[in-house]
Each structure stands twice: as C-alpha cells, then as structure tokens.
Amino acid sequence: MKYTYYYDEVLASAFKLAETNGYIDSVKKIQNQVPKTKCECCGNCCMDSPNAYFVEFLLFFREFKQLSKEQTKNIIVKTIDWLLLSLKNSQFQCPLIDENKKCSIYEIRPLNCRTWGFESKEQFEYNYENNIKQQNEEFRKFYKTNYDIDIEEPPRIDYCDKVIKVDNRPFSQNDINDMHKRIIKMDSKFVNRQIIKHMCYQPLPVHLGVFIQAKCKITWDEWALLRVQILRELNENNFSKTYESTKERIIKGLNLD
Ligand code: SF4
Ligand code: SF4
C-alpha cells in the first residue's frame, strides 16, 4: 500500500483547513468541557493508548512540533518501541506516559483519555465485549493468517471506579456521546475534502507512526514485515538486529541524532 496521506504536504493542507475553520481550537475547547477529575494516578489506564480522532492528532502534532530535539527524540523512541515491539510484548504502556506515571501531554490528551472512568460499568463491559475484544481477535487473526505467527492477547484494562469529579458540572454519557459527534463532524471535513482517505480513529502513537513511516519512506507492507521479522528474531534469540537497524534508520531519517 502506498501512502496517500500524512506526507508533509498533506499535513500542511490539513493544518490549513483546520486553522481556517478553527478546528484545532474547537477540539481543544470540546476536550476541556470534560469536568476536571482526580484519581489515584496508578497509571493502569495508560497501559494502552486509546483511539484519538484526526483533529486531536493535529492538536497534538501542533504542540509536538514546538518540542526541543531531545523531547521529540524521547517521544519518537518510545513510540517506535511501542509500534515495533508490541507484537512481542503486548504490555507496553502508552509512549506518552512519563516515568512518574503522568501523562506528558495532559493538557491536550484525547477525549477518550479524559472521559476514562466516567462511563458506567455496563457501558464499559458492553464496549469491551462488542468492540475491543473483536478488534483484538481480528488483529490476531490477521497475523496468524498472513504470517503464521501467534500474537499475545493484549492485557485487559480493568474498569476504574477511582475517578472523582472535582467540579460540580453535571456530566453524563449523553454529553460524552455529543462530544464524540462534534469531533467526528470535524474529522469528516478532511475526508470530504479528500485530504485524508477515510476517517482516522486510532491511538495517537499510531497516528504518529504513520507520519514517521512516511517521513522515513517505509511503506505499510514493509512496516508489517519489519514487525513480524522483529518478533521472529526476538522469539529465537531474545535480540533483534532488525529492530536495532530500523530504529537507527528512523532516528537518522528524522534527523534526531
Ligand atoms: S483513572 Fe483509574 S486507572 Fe487511570 S490512573 Fe487514575 S486510578 Fe489509575
Ligand atoms: S495520552 Fe496520556 S492519558 Fe492518554 S493513554 Fe497516553 S499517557 Fe495516558
């Protein structure tokens, strides 16, 4: 598969459309409508990275571009590990969590991170059974059918009842659904203008990964093969030459040395 989106010029035209229509500030405003919370900060919910919309990625990317070379490298290296090694070890935390178990992009974290702990246990179970479990199954089937390899079942993240709302604003599942709808409406403009081919609702590290792959001229097929090769080498020797060389290639490709 050849990339038809996420190249520099595509990102540039996405930014132009987003800036002209105020989408990036609008999405930030929507995110900030989620009431402030406190919790036990155990970091368990960041064991995985939830899906984020394309316009949320643009918000993240706008901030990301302002980081120092060292901060950028830090996020990129953790993202590469998350993307390349997660077939071997499904217990990878979101690359945006820091060493103190705090979100390094807390102010602009996606809607799904903000609303964690707000939904009812029933809704949480429904979502797990009807979406997450099936997605995991399809993912494992894909690698079994296409590459004859077995992928570990990703850890199930437990429902959290430790989130406490610290302001008095009422907030319900309907409010959450409404926020999703408003963001989806913005995302659809990028598809309508053929800036992106289809709706992009995937974890921030995957959005970032597509950018990394495009920048380093790694095609989607090549990327999948690299992941499989790395998994095979790790299973055999506990060391992967392919992982080391791919990491080096990316760091060089992004001029982060
Ligand atoms: S929301 Fe819950 S799972 Fe996430 S860090 Fe806080 S206490 Fe832990
Ligand atoms: S973006 Fe932040 S809050 Fe969301 S999963 Fe990653 S570290 Fe956790």
Which atom of ligand 1 approaches the CA of 158 most closely? 3
- Closest ligand to 42 CA? 1
Q: Which two tokens stand for residue 170?
A: 């009422």
- Closest ligand to 165 CA? 1
Which atom of ligand 1 approaches the CA of 116 most closely? 1
Per-residue pLDDT of the chain (257 residues; tens, 9 = 90+): 444 456 788 899 999 999 999 999 999 999 999 999 999 999 999 988 899 999 999 999 999 989 999 999 999 999 999 999 988 887 788 999 998 889 999 999 999 999 999 988 998 999 899 998 998 999 899 999 999 999 888 888 999 999 999 988 899 999 999 999 999 999 999 999 999 888 899 999 999 998 999 899 998 889 989 999 999 999 999 999 999 999 999 999 999 98
Residues forming beta bridges with residue 53, ordered by sequence position: 201
Distance 59 CA to ligand 1 centre (A): 24
Task: Work out whether the CA dihedral 126, 46, 212, 81 comes out positive or negative.
Answer: negative
Range of the domain at 55: 2-253
Q: Residue 47 and residue 91: Cα distance in Å, rounded?
A: 7
Distance 52 CA to ligand 1 centre (A): 19
Cα–Cα distances in angstroms (integers) from residue 122 to residues 30, 113, 125, 129, in the given order? 25, 18, 5, 11
Q: Whose CA is nearest to atom 7 of ligand 1?
A: 40
Q: Whose CA is nearest to atom 8 of ligand 1?
A: 42
Distance 97 CA to ligand 2 centre (A): 6
Q: Residue 154 and residue 247: Cα distance in Å, rounded?
A: 23
Kindly state if the Cβ of 109 falls inside 6 Å of ligand 2.
yes
- pLDDT computed for residue 6 by the predictor: 64
Nearby residues of 22 by Cβ (< 8 Å), 6 or more positions away: none
- pLDDT computed for residue 186 by the predictor: 98
Cβ atoms within 10 Å, residue 233: 17
Q: Whose CA is nearest to atom 8 of ligand 2?
A: 46
- Closest ligand to 160 CA? 1
Q: Residue 121 and residue 128: Cα distance in Å, rounded?
A: 10
Query: Which of the 8 DSSP states describes residue 135?
Result: H
Distance 75 CA to ligand 2 centre (A): 12
Pocket mutation for ligand 2, best pick of 96, 102, 107 (most atoms within 8 Å of C-beta)? 96
Secondary structure (DSSP) of 173-230: HHHHHHHHHHHHHHHHHHHHTTSSSS--EEEHHHHHHHHHHHHTT--HHHHHHHHHHH
Count of domains observed in the chain? 1
- Closest ligand to 162 CA? 1
Q: Residue 61 and residue 71: Cα distance in Å, rounded?
A: 13
pTM of the model: 0.93
